[in-house]
Structures are given as C-alpha cells and as structure tokens.
Copies of this chain bind each other. A is one copy, B any other.
C-alpha cells in the first residue's frame, strides 16, 4: 500500500492567513495527516512540510471568475491543480469562497452528469452533532428545479461516505410542511423530489418540506435549497449561536457568585460550546467535482483549518468521489 497523498492547503486564504493556516496545517501533520502547503515562497519558508510555491494571492474581495482566470500562479489555483495532477488528494482553503469554487471547478472539472456543483455545509448545532448537511449553502444563488434533485443525490452520497447513513432522509427547505407552500420554484422541486425513481437510484427517502426551525432538528439528514436561501439560513444559524453564546457568557460573568457557579457548569457546557463553534464543523465540501475541495470560513483559526484538513482526508479515505459517482450514475 502506497502512502496516502497529502491534503493541499492554501496557505494564503482567509482573514488570518498565513499564520493561523500554517499553524493548522502543522497541527494536522503532527496528528498524522499528510499535508502539502501551497503559498508564496515567503509564507511557506521555514516550515518542515512539503510545499508548492505560488507567486500570486487572490484577495477576499476579488471578483472570483476574473481572479482565477488572471492569477494562474495563485495559491488557490495551484492547490486545485495539485489535486488535478495527482500531487494532492484534496484541497482546503479559507480564502475567497467564489474563487475557491471557480478554481476547483476549472481545474478538477465536474463529475459526469453534474449540472452544477454545490456547497454542502454540515449544520453546527444539529441534533446529532453536525451529522446533517445543508446544500446548496451558497455556490448557486439562483437554481433550476432539477439541480436541487441532484443536490439531494450528492448530499446523500456525502452522508453515506462521511457518516455511513445508509438511506439518508431528504427534506426540502420551504415555509410550510404542505406541498402547496412556497414559491413556484419550490413547488416544482417538491414535485420532482416526490418521484420514486430518483429516490430509488440515489438510495434516499424524501420526507417532504422542512422549515427553518427543523434545520437543527432530526427530521432530515440532507436538506436541499437554492444557494441564496441556504447561505442566508447557514449564516443565520451561525449568528444566532454566536449571539446566544455571547449573551450567556455575559450572564456568567455578572459577579463573583455567578463566575463560581459557571466554573462548576463549564465541563457540561463545553461540549455544547464546541458544537456551536463554527471552527469545529470542519468546513463545507464542494460536491460534484472529480476531487475533494473543502471551503473553510473566512475567519478560520488554526483549529478550523486542522479540522477542515481532517475532513478532507477523511472524505478521500472514505471515497466520497466514488460515492458521488454511484448516485449520479
């Protein structure tokens, strides 16, 4: 058995690049996951890890398509090329999300039959510790109804590859449980998802419409929606969790008595805190490509990058791309 290929890490992407990204890559390497750094010579210098040099950096605010076309020697493009060329198993970036998608798509190419790749985001507060997935979380602001059926197929493959969920339950995000609720677009998607054929070939069960309040519950393993609604919902969850945790910590810090009581509660609250911390979800996966590409949030810390590298490695080991091929058939 040959050594596994390394995870390519875009050292230049993210608000805290390169320092936190490098620290995350080193932590992952120390934990036994092979990584290869992709960044400017200055950024990757002085690290023991293997590296690929790139002379350019794509900024967070750049227009994705133009940036990827023009900066062919950027860390983001070079990371995607490393996957394409078999030098890396997968890639992780906390940089410009649109550019990460564009670079992954242009360099790795779509799997056969994929209309549009989608971002699959594990939900941070979910009932079963992040073991459900929302897609599209932002790759395609506007969608055609058929795409969402494919998102459902791909989400099912993700749940099967990553969490061994044999027959994932698929829900459609809408504004009421009844099939008559929602926009004409959502009603069209509902009708398509009701058809038994795709459920059979994808090994899924369509459980009907789900609502915003069900996102963190246990009614569906895969929740499909357009990329606009999905992105709003995901960021709403992150914002609500952050506000609520902040308010609770404020209440704990009220006086000496409350601080002492909070100390007692910390051990039982810590797992919950870790669950709502977006650094722990391991990043979102771009599904539909001939390779694994993980998009970590822009403010990723070292821990977030370490987790994202772990998820990238795991998805390769668990043959995500083959699982995707099976359901796209």
Within 8 A of B (CB), among A185-224: 186, 211-217
Majority secondary structure of chain A interface residues (helix, strand, loop or mixed):
helix
Mask, A155-184, CB within 8 Å of B = 1, is: 000000000000000000111001011111
Q: Is A142 an interface residue (CB 8 A)?
A: yes
Within 8 A of B (CB), among A231-267: 231-245, 247-248, 251-252, 254, 257-258, 260-262, 264-265
Chain A interface residue number, banded:
35 or more
Q: Is A229 an interface residue (CB 8 A)?
A: yes
Q: Is A117 an interface residue (CB 8 A)?
A: no
Query: Which has the most chain B C-beta neighbours within 10 Å: A174, A178, A229?
Result: A229
A217 to chain B, nearest CB (A): 7
- Which residues of chain B are within 8 angstroms of A17 by Cβ–Cβ distance? none
Q: Is A45 an interface residue (CB 8 A)?
A: no
Select A138's contact among B63, B175, B248, beta carbons within 8 Å: B175
Q: List the number of copies, as a whole number.
A: 2
Select A238's contact among B213, B225, B272, beta carbons within 8 Å: B213
* Contact yes or no, B236 A251, CB < 8 A: no
How distant is the Cα of A213 from the Cα of B216 in the complex, in angstroms? 16
Known interface pairs A175-B138, A183-B142. Does A261 touch B254 (Cβ–Cβ under 8 Å)?
no
How distant is the Cα of A252 from the Cα of B252 in the complex, in angstroms? 13
Within 8 A of B (CB), among A56-71: 61, 63
Q: Is A133 an interface residue (CB 8 A)?
A: no
* Contact yes or no, B183 A212, CB < 8 A: no
- Which residues of chain B are within 8 angstroms of A239 by Cβ–Cβ distance? 211-217
How distant is the Cα of A257 from the Cα of B264 in the complex, in angstroms? 7
How distant is the Cα of A268 from the Cα of B95 in the complex, in angstroms? 39
- Which residues of chain B are within 8 angstroms of A245 by Cβ–Cβ distance? 244
A129 to chain B, nearest CB (A): 11
Q: Is A305 an interface residue (CB 8 A)?
A: no
How distant is the Cα of A213 from the Cα of B235 in the complex, in angstroms? 5
A257 to chain B, nearest CB (A): 6
10 A-B pairs whose Cβ atoms sit less than 8 Å apart in the complex: A175-B232, A182-B228, A215-B239, A216-B239, A216-B240, A216-B243, A244-B245, A251-B268, A258-B268, A261-B262
Binding site for B on A (CB under 8 A): 61, 63, 125, 127, 138, 141-142, 173-175, 178, 180-184, 186, 211-217, 225, 227-229, 231-245, 247-248, 251-252, 254, 257-258, 260-262, 264-265, 268-269, 272, 275-276
